């Protein structure tokens, strides 16, 4: 079942997000390094997002009522040097409990996000995904998304 996220979902979303951050940090230890207070900072941000009418915040849960996935999308203006035809829907927080379900539940949740964004005049969807996150990348491609940009990182020696 996909539904709007509520304040009651915040702790479960924050826990799932922390597991994702740990996975991402293993893949790219500097860029994705977790802040000491990451869980609390994110919990506060999530609490604000689920009550913000301008944010699409959805969760998916099974028959047992347990949180299986979440997605947050914000409507942002496109950079002034590009003109895709309207605003962008940015999905920066999007995670599943079980990575083997990206091709099913992940695609279904993304479709629900896209539907909500379309009703707000959004013309393009941008989803953040780590390069190492193969299951998510595969699901995004299957859902019709294409890679528009990649970021390359390297530590800089301050000396």
| Domain annotation covers residue 149 | no
Is residue 3 a contact partner of residue 69, using CB atoms and an 8 Å limit? no
CA distance 24 to 12: 19
pTM of the predicted structure, to 2 decimals: 0.92
CATH number of the CATH domain containing 47: 3.40.630.30
| Domain annotation covers residue 157 | no
Give 90-115 pLDDT, tens digit per residue: 999 999 999 999 999 999 999 999 99
| Domain annotation covers residue 11 | yes
CA distance 42 to 6: 15
| Domain annotation covers residue 116 | yes
CA proximity to 127, closest of 84, 95, 90: 90
| Domain annotation covers residue 103 | yes
Give 112-149 pLDDT, tens digit per residue: 999 999 999 999 999 999 999 999 999 999 999 999 99
| Domain annotation covers residue 156 | no
Total of domains in the chain = 1
What is the model's pLDDT at position 64? 87
| Domain annotation covers residue 158 | no
């Amino acid at each position: 079942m996909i539904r709007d996220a509520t304040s009651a979902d915040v702790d479960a979303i924050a826990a799932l997000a922390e597991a994702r951050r740990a996975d991402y940090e293993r893949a790219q230890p500097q860029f994705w390094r977790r802040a000491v207070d990451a869980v609390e900072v994110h919990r506060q941000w999530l609490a604000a997002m689920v009550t913000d009418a301008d944010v699409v915040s959805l969760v998916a849960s099974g028959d047992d009522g347990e949180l299986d996935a979440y997605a947050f999308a914000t409507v942002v203006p496109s950079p002034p040097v590009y003109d895709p035809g309207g605003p962008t829907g940015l999905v920066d927080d999007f995670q599943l409990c079980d990575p083997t379900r990206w091709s099913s539940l992940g695609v279904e949740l993304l479709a629900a996000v896209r539907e909500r964004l379309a009703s707000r005049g959004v013309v393009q969807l941008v989803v953040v995904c780590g390069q190492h996150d193969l299951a998510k990348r595969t699901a995004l491609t299957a859902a019709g998304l294409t890679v528009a940009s990649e970021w390359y990182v390297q530590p800089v020696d301050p000396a």
